[in-house]
Amino acid sequence: MFNEIYEKIKKYDTIVIVRHIGADPDALCSQIALRDSIKLTFPKKRVFSWGSTSTRFNYLPKLDRLEEVSDILLIVVDTPDKKRVDFSFTTSIDYSIKIDHHPFVEKFCDLEYIDDTASSASEIVLELINETPLVNNFDIANTIFTGIASDTNRFMFNASSKVLGLCSRLLEEYKIDTQLVYSNLYTRPLTEVRLQGYIGLNMKVTENGFGYIKLFDDVLNNLSVDSGSAGNMVNTFNYIEGVYVWAVVTKDSKNDLFKVNIRSRGPVINSVAEKYNGGGHKFASGARIHDEEQVDLLLKDLDLACLKYIEEEVAKNED
Ligand code: AMP
């Protein structure tokens, strides 16, 4: 299918690349690397990466300003469902392509390439570049490596031999400064470290091995941390003995909704998140919920998922 995608890219003069709301490094890196590779290969094309971002990703190449365009080729990366695409869909789209590594949710593009065994959308963009005449260079390779390193949490998750091989070749060919990539991705303000300490001290852990914390304005203002950074803290609480699923609930007061970031190292959680209009991967999911009672029901369901997991593991051991 990569050749089919390449042929569409070749055909269109105006291409817009978008991804999910709540940008993260893989979403941004995959849309930016694809844009830059298309521009390098076809300098006359108008290619844009659109969407809102945050100052904490200032180390990445910039996104583009909105412009009047029509009859575009739209490429959506890293997003399984239309409602989560950071794009208004008011522009006239002639053809659309999805490139994603999430489990399938719905078809909303003309052509969809989905590989849910890929570590990241950036990995798929790298394969697309490697397997078609699309061109690579140091900056593009560096952006792709940043996306892969981030979504795999420095090759801790989904680090298949395939992605390790792809990255090994990238490092060899483009001499990427991995220390700089990691310092960009992982340097954080002292306020976040203090918040991490607060979470460690105050996280509630149920007897089924479900850990959670609610972080609302009172705590976040005290520690001078915004709710987006607080949600990302979910990534720092893996491998706690006896904790199988953990969640951070933050309140986005501006939009009056609760954001739940969930991670697991056993029970499948995306099916639980889906019940609350959320979704994601088997072991990394999220949901946005308007009503705190619904948040509490989700937390209860996650606890039950832990209990079911423990029971299944015990049964397996008895077999
Ligand atoms: P996060 O905790 O924001 O890093 O998200 C982890 C995974 O869950 C990502 O793959 C997201 O795409 C997915 N996810 C997060 N929030 C939602 C949501 N409200 N609806 C569907 N998927 C989500």
User: What pLDDT score was predicted for residue 153?
Assistant: 94
Tens digit of each residue's pLDDT (9 = 90 or more) over 37-95 = 999 999 999 999 999 988 889 999 999 999 999 999 999 999 999 999 999 998 999 99
Ligand 1 nearest atom to the CA of residue 81, by list position: 21
- pLDDT > 90 in the chain, percent: 92
- Give the residue among 283, 285, 228, 282 at the shortest CA–CA distance from 257: 228
Ligand 1 nearest atom to the CA of residue 80, by list position: 12
Ligand 1 nearest atom to the CA of residue 281, by list position: 10
| Residue 133 binned pLDDT confidence (cut-offs 50, 70, 90) | very high
Mean pLDDT of 269-295: 95
Ligand 1 nearest atom to the CA of residue 285, by list position: 8
User: What pLDDT score was predicted for residue 256?
Assistant: 87
Mean pLDDT of 124-137: 98
* Residue whose entry in the numeric block shows the structure tokens 């609760």: 258
Residue 131 has pLDDT above 80, yes or no: yes
The rounded distance, in Å, linking the Cα atoms of 164 and 126 is 12
Nearest residue by C-alpha to atom 15 in ligand 1: 286
User: What pLDDT score was predicted for residue 246?
Assistant: 98
Between 316 and 82, whose confidence is greater?
A: 82
Residue 160 has pLDDT above 90, yes or no: yes
User: What pLDDT score was predicted for residue 204?
Assistant: 97
Residue 96 has pLDDT above 90, yes or no: yes
The rounded distance, in Å, linking the Cα atoms of 170 and 18 is 24
**Mean pLDDT of the residues in the chain:** 96
Site to probe by mutation for ligand 1, drawn from 276, 285, 295, 302 as the one with most ligand atoms within 8 Å of Cβ, is 285
Site to probe by mutation for ligand 1, drawn from 54, 76, 78, 84 as the one with most ligand atoms within 8 Å of Cβ, is 84
- Give the residue among 221, 147, 213, 234 at the shortest CA–CA distance from 184: 147
Residue 319 has pLDDT above 80, yes or no: no
Residue 267 has pLDDT above 80, yes or no: yes
- pLDDT > 70 in the chain, percent: 100
The rounded distance, in Å, linking the Cα atoms of 210 and 308 is 12
CB within 6 Å of ligand 1 — which residues? 20, 22, 24, 84, 102, 234, 261, 278-281, 284-288
* Ramachandran angles phi, psi of 215, nearest 5°: -120, 105
Per the DSSP assignment, residues forming a β-bridge with 58 are none
Nearest residue by C-alpha to atom 6 in ligand 1: 285
